[in-house]
Amino acid sequence: MGAVYPYGQLIRSARRGVTFVPRRTLTYSFPRRAQDDGSSNGPNEKPEEQSKPSALSSIKNFFFGGRSETAKPKITRRATAPPKREGSLSADSIFAEDEATPKLIASGRTPAARKQATEAAEGEEEANLEVENRNRITMAAVLDPRPKARMRWERKMIVREVRRRGRLTKTEQIMRTERESLSKSHWFKTSLKKLGPLARQIAGKNIDEAMLQMRFSKKKVAKDVLEHLEHAKNVAIVRSGMGLGNATEQKPITITLKTGERKTITNPSSIYIAQAWVNRGPYGVDYDHRARGQINRLRPPYTSLSVLLKEENTRIREWQDREAEALRKRKAQLWTQLPDRKITAQNQAPGFQRFFQVSFIIPILLVVTVIVAGFMMMAESITSESHLRLSTVTGYFMQDEPTTDPDTFDYVTSNFGLIPRSYDSDAEFDPDGRRTQWERFEHHIKKLNAESRPETSYRLLYLGRHGEGYHNVAERRYGTEAWDCYWSLLDGDDNGTWVDARLTPVGIAQAETAHRVWETQIENKIPFPQSYYVSPLNRCLATASITFRGLKMPHTEPFRPVVKELLRETIGLHTCDSRSSKTAIQAEYPEYIIEDGFAEEDPLYDPKLRESDTARDARLRDLLQDIFTHDENTFISLTAHSGAITSILQVTGHRKFALATGAVIPVLVKVERVSGPLPKMHIDPPTTAPVCKN
């Protein structure tokens, strides 16, 4: 025992203990008996019968005197305690059944009326304790001890409400709309060290889940914690009305907690433990009897548990506040003020000195301007003497053929649209016909590159569209017309936000489908992408990660995508097409390679103007010119958007082919370097948001 609790030695004695001799007290209680009124008090006693006189009794009465007919005096004792006084009900009490006031309770079983007290003794008046007749002056000492302070406080609250014009603060609004319940337990005979881990274990969990944890816990104090949780749950339900939401099924909501963990909430009115902490209590006293008369005093600690219960609505509101704050911070970083710099060279030179300085600097500036212009003209002539001409090679994929309907095309079941056919290189590469279609196609492409001129190459582009985003759901909900003129200009609606829109659960499933299709095609010996390029918008970053991560790829061709700024959706107006900061992208996807010159904030997004289709085509043409110039790989993967893929097909001479969300198609492109400057394209000016008709 001494090792468990700190103790101190009370006494050590060799004498025998003093013998305790009980004594009888000199005082005793006077027995109170009922009045002897001639009736029997015992349950088994019978009333005395009138006996008849006999001969012997008559002789006895003659010599010794007969029994007197006068009755013996009776001793009557009254109770010394004053009569019990009971209060009465007020006029508007719901239990006043016998009163003439209107009944405020429903028909049926009602609480039984209290029995009437014994009538007071004669000469005593019953006290009138009705609410209307109570003395307010004598009660004010307890109910209103400081009336002036109360009046000042009431005046202060009224002035504050008038100044705010009846508007509530955020804290007041939360306290009025959200429920919570605080329950503190009794003192447990345990220490902080033992009760603390249990408090941390149940904090943040649903009340039913926490009770289940405590029921199967091996800790001794877990039984007391379980009883307190049951009591706290009952108090929260009865007093605060918590956990009594609608029984109708609601759509589950997936939120992100402060710890980064994702949680799906099916019932917003369910109770969870928001906080749980341990309170230090008093120390008890116990004794440890040791050998040779030693007695050690122990100090066992006592602790209690406090739990703050809230509903899941609170957790949803806190998650929405965090998302709104993060969005506000991202928007605040769109423009950064330049730092203040010291003003230099503010000397006051005479007029002739200033004229000499200006006349000396002007010729130097003219010479430098001529030299720089010459270098710029030389550089322009060097860079514009050749460019890349892009064209689509048809006859290899179903999506190249005019007879293929984009609405019914399924890349999953059609082997990415690869047409089963023979090639002129099959006789040498696969004379026995044992190779797969993808192996023979890869060998055919390599043979084309080997036999072509140095200025010509063949590249296979895997064009993949991102999965479904929240902006796609909103456009279907409101319609394309309302989306373009109104909803796309907002950050979101009541169902969520779509700034740099993320993938929905359906979009994640579409990316996982693409991942499984790639696994199947890898078994069919599909050529691996040698380079990966991805749009900087979050939905494309996530789609590429889900699609390619985890595939059995060769070590020479790892999945290290390059984030390209120009591989974006149509720029401007729509908030879903504005990207996150460079820091946020690097933090969420650290394995991605961000191209050189990538700005910290989005330099292309304009909230008032929308990029035209021709301007988007020119932007994607410049992107392909850059990729094919600096990347010599044959098999290239591009994860982009519907608008970007449409422009890529346009500049490569491919037919119009709309891709569904999450779909992938390969396109074989012939790249030729020709002399002369890059042909100029007619670019339409940007447009503003259309005016809503309704």
CATH number, residue 317: 3.90.470.10
Task: Please tell me the chain's helix, strand, coil percentages from 3-state DSSP, rounded to the nearest 5.
Answer: 35, 15, 50
Cα gap 495→511, rounded to integer Å: 23
Taking the C-alpha atoms of residue 671 and residue 449, their distance in angstroms, rounded to an integer, is 11
Question: Do both 152 and 196 map to the same domain?
Answer: no
The pLDDT tens digits for 220-279 are 999 999 999 999 999 999 999 999 877 567 788 999 998 888 999 999 999 999 999 999
Range of the structural domain that residue 190 is part of: 180-332
Residue 104: its pLDDT value, please? 46
Report d(CA 264, CA 256) in Å as an integer: 9
3-state per-residue secondary structure call for 140-179: HHHHCCCHHHHHHHHHHHHHHHHHCCCCCCHHHHHHHHCC
Question: Does residue 310 carry a pLDDT above 90?
Answer: yes
CA 99 – CA 105 distance, rounded (Å)? 13
163-191 as b/e: b if 16+ CB within 10 A: eeeeeeeeeeeeeeeebbbebebeebebb
Same domain, 273 and 411: no
For the chain, what is the domain count? 3
Burial of 159 (0-12, 13-18, 19+ CB in 10 A): exposed
Residue 101 has pLDDT above 50, yes or no: no
Whether 611 is covered by a domain: the verdict is yes
Which one is predicted more confidently, 207 or 103?
207
Structure tokens at 339: 């730092």
Q: How many of the other CB atoms lie within 10 Å of CB of 369?
A: 10
The mean pLDDT value for 658-682 works out to 89
Average pLDDT, the chain: 81
The answer to whether 195 and 217 are in contact (CB under 8 A) is: no
Do 308 and 221 belong together in one domain? Answer: yes
What was the pLDDT predicted at 2? 52
Do 267 and 412 lie in one domain? The reply is: no
Enter the tokens of residue 679: 């042909």
**pLDDT value for 486:** 86
- pLDDT at 99 exceeding the cut of 70: no
Residue at 299: amino acid letter: R
Active-site pick, 466, 471, 574, 654: 466
Q: Looking at the structure, do residues 325 and 413 belong to the same domain, yes or no? A: no
Same domain, 303 and 444: no
Output the CA angle 679-685-691, nearest 5 degrees.
150
As a whole number, mean pLDDT of residues 440-464 equals 90
- Residue 193 located in a structural domain: yes
Place of tokens 């992938």: 664
3-state secondary structure of 605: coil
Q: For residue 522, with 0-12 CB atoms within 10 Å meaning exposed, 13-18 middle and 19 or more buried, which class applies?
A: middle
In a domain? residue 348: no
Q: Given the residues 475, 565, 569, 611, select the one marked as catalytic.
A: 569
Q: What are phi and psi of 450, to 5 degrees?
A: -70, -35
- Give pLDDT, residue 177: 92
Instruction: Report the DSSP beta bridge partners of residue 428.
Output: none
Collect all residues with Cβ–Cβ distance below 8 Å to 232 and sequence separation of at least 6. Answer: 181, 183, 207, 307, 309
Tokens of 365: 């500036």
Residues 6+ apart with CB under 8 A from 47: 39, 40
d(CA 626, CA 610): 24
Specify the pLDDT at position 357: 55
DSSP character at residue 574: -
Domain boundary among 332, 366, 401: 332
Cα gap 31→561, rounded to integer Å: 101
User: Residue 544 region, left (φ>0) first, then alpha (ψ -120 to 50), else beta?
Assistant: alpha
> 282-286, 593-597, 666-670: lowest mean pLDDT where?
593-597
Residues 6+ apart with CB under 8 A from 512: 546
Tokens of 657: 């082919």
Kindly state the tokens that stand for 377.
Answer: 């003209």
Percent of the chain past pLDDT 90, that is, above it, reads 35
Query: If residue 320 lies in a helix (H) or strand (E), which one and from where to where?
Result: helix 312-332
Return the biggest CA–CA distance within the chain.
171
Of the three residues 162, 177, 192, the one that is the final residue of a domain is 177
Phi, psi dihedral angles at 612 (to 5 degrees): -80, 165
- pLDDT score, position 385: 74
The mean per-residue pLDDT over the stretch 120-128 comes to: 52
Query: Where residue 312 falls among pLDDT bands split at 50, 70, 90?
Result: very high
- Distance separating alpha carbons of residues 70 and 557, to the nearest angstrom: 130
Per-residue pLDDT, 313: 93
Provide the pLDDT confidence category of residue 426 given band limits of 50, 70 and 90: confident
Q: What is the DSSP letter of 503?
A: B
Q: How confident is the model at residue 164 (pLDDT cuts 50, 70, 90)?
A: confident
Q: Is residue 283 part of a domain?
A: yes
Q: Which residue has the tokens 């043979």?
A: 447
CB 620 within 8 A of CB 651: yes
- Is residue 353 domain-resident? no
Q: What mean pLDDT is predicted for residues 528-549?
A: 91
Q: Provide the token pair at 505.
A: 């659960």
In a domain, 246, yes or no: yes
Asked whether residue 166 falls in the same domain as residue 185, the answer is: no
- Residue 210 structure tokens: 């926490």
652: its two tokens: 């490569």
Please enumerate in sequence order all residues whose Cβ is within 8 A of that of 655, keeping only pairs 6 or more positions apart, or say none: 400, 402, 649
Is residue 317 located within the same domain as residue 214? yes
| DSSP secondary structure letter of residue 658 | P
From the CA atom positions of the chain, what is the Rg in Å? 47
Question: Considering the domain boundaries, does residue 138 fall inside one?
Answer: no
What is the spatial order of strands in the sheet that 456-465 belongs to? 386-392, 664-675, 456-465, 635-640, 531-534, 562-563, 593-594
How far is Cα 185 from Cα 9, in angstroms, rounded to an integer? 33
**Residues in Cβ contact with 86 at an 8 Å cutoff, skipping those fewer than 6 apart:** 114, 117
* 654 in active site: no
C-alpha distances (whole Å) from 122 to each of 32, 125, 518 are 21, 8, 103
**Alpha-carbon dihedral angle through residues 235, 239, 242, 247, given to the nearest 10 degrees:** 110
Q: What is the CATH number of the domain that holds 663?
A: 3.40.50.1240
Q: What is the mean pLDDT of residues 2-18?
A: 51
Determine, yes or no, domain membership for 32: no
Per the annotation, the verdict on 466 as an active-site residue is yes
Which of 572, 610, 571, 579 has its CA nearest to residue 502? 579
What is the model's pLDDT at position 347?
61
d(CA 548, CA 511): 9
Inter-CA distances, 162 with 44, 88, 151, 166, Å:
79, 42, 17, 6
- Ramachandran sector of residue 43 (left: φ over 0; alpha: ψ -120 to 50; beta: rest): alpha
336 vs 397, more confident: 397
Q: What is the mean pLDDT of residues 76-105?
A: 58
What is the share, in percent, of the chain residues with pLDDT greater than 70?
75
590-605 residue pLDDT tens = 889 989 888 888 888 8
Residues 234 and 170 in one domain: no
Instruction: Give yes or no for residue 72 having a pLDDT over 70.
Output: no
Give the model confidence (pLDDT) of 21-56 as tens digits.
445 444 445 445 444 444 444 445 455 555 556 666
C-alpha 96/C-alpha 129 separation (Å) is 15
Looking at 156, 177, 198, the residue that finishes a domain is 177
CB atoms within 10 A of CB 47: 7
What DSSP string runs through 222-266?
HHHHHHHHHHHHHHHHHHH-TT---SS----EEEE-TTS-EEEES
- pTM equals 0.48
Same domain, yes or no: 158 and 303: no
3-state class (DSSP) for residue 284:
coil
Question: Are 185 and 262 in a shared domain?
Answer: yes
Strand-pair category, 593-594 with 562-563: parallel
230 and 169 together in one domain: no
pLDDT tier, 352 (very low <50, low <70, confident <90, very high otherwise): very low
Angle at 624 between CA 621 and CA 628, to 5 degrees: 145
